[in-house]
Amino acid sequence: MLMRAFPRNVRGFSMIELMVALVLSLLVAGAVLALVLAIIKSNRLTLQATRLNQELRATLAVVAADVRRARSVDDPLSSAVLGANPIGAISTATAGCIIYAYDGAAGGRWHLMKLNGGRVRLQAFADRPTAGDCTSAAGEIIGSRQVEITSMTFSPTTTSNTPPLATDETVARQFTVTVTGRLIDNDPDLVATTRTMTSTVYVRSVGAGI
């Protein structure tokens, strides 16, 4: 049986053509891989940013809820008639720290909320704490340990400084609480992402607020 001979002008791909095709294939594959990795990273950043928002919102809610109870007493009518509230003074004299009190508080009627080492800490006292307690690392951590709080401020809104308050005290019913934080992560893009949350707190009863 005779085999049919191929025409002389029929030939396969040359080495150069194969190399060009290989390079083009690698370029396309590299571009697709880069796109997939970019999408994965973008999704991770979005998810982590959402997580950061949720963690900060939860931390701020706990802080605001406790501060909102400041100056609250068992019998506010008697305090109003007598013109004195034994736990009326609220201090925000130390940056990142607020000292306040309310009856029935767990661990002691006086509470101190502060920022220390990237953590929000709540500390309870039987007697009024001092400004020096604002710088200690004591207290229960509020919020996630995966989030670093970089800033926390308590800004009172002054309404009056009517006597018989001391000269360094003013009446404040409203406090603006602001927290700024970021995730603790090895990814520099995540660490660079920060969020700020703000909440307005109206205290329950009138008293002195610095």
pLDDT digits (tens, 9 = 90+) for 56-74: 999 999 999 999 988 877 6
Res. 152: pLDDT tops 90: yes
CA distance 204 to 199: 16
Higher pLDDT, 166 or 20: 20
pLDDT band for position 151 (cuts 50, 70, 90): very high
Res. 166: pLDDT tops 50: no
Question: In one letter, which amino acid is 205?
Answer: S
Res. 184: pLDDT tops 60: yes
Q: What is the pLDDT of residue 23?
A: 87
Q: What is the pLDDT of residue 135?
A: 92
Q: What is the pLDDT of residue 168?
A: 46
Which is nearest to 54 in space by CA: 147, 122, 140, 117?
A: 147
Q: What is the pLDDT of residue 110?
A: 93
Residue 72 Cα distances to 81, 89, 132, 181, 204, angstroms: 15, 11, 25, 30, 6
**Mean predicted confidence (pLDDT) in 122-132:** 92
DSSP one-letter string for the chain: -PPPPPPTT-----HHHHHHHHHHHHHHHHHHHHHHHHHHHHHHHHHHHHHHHHHHHHHHHHHHHHHTTTT--S-HHHHHHHT--TT--BB--STTEEEEE-TT-TT-SEEEEEEETTEEEEEEESS---GGGGGSS-SEEES-TTEEEEEEEEEEEEEE--TTS-TT-EEEEEEEEEEEEEE--S-HHHHH-EEEEEEEEE-SS--EE-
Q: What is the pLDDT of residue 206?
A: 57
CA distance 102 to 108: 9
Sign (positive or negative) of CA dihedral 154, 109, 209, 70: positive
CA distance 109 to 128: 9
pLDDT (tens digit per residue) in 72-124: 776 656 555 555 677 778 888 899 999 998 888 888 899 999 999 999 999 99
Res. 165: pLDDT tops 50: no
CA distance 91 to 102: 14
Which is nearest to 205 in space by CA: 83, 63, 57?
A: 83
pLDDT (tens digit per residue) in 16-68: 878 888 888 888 888 888 888 888 888 888 888 888 999 999 999 999 999 99
**Mean predicted confidence (pLDDT) in 134-156:** 92
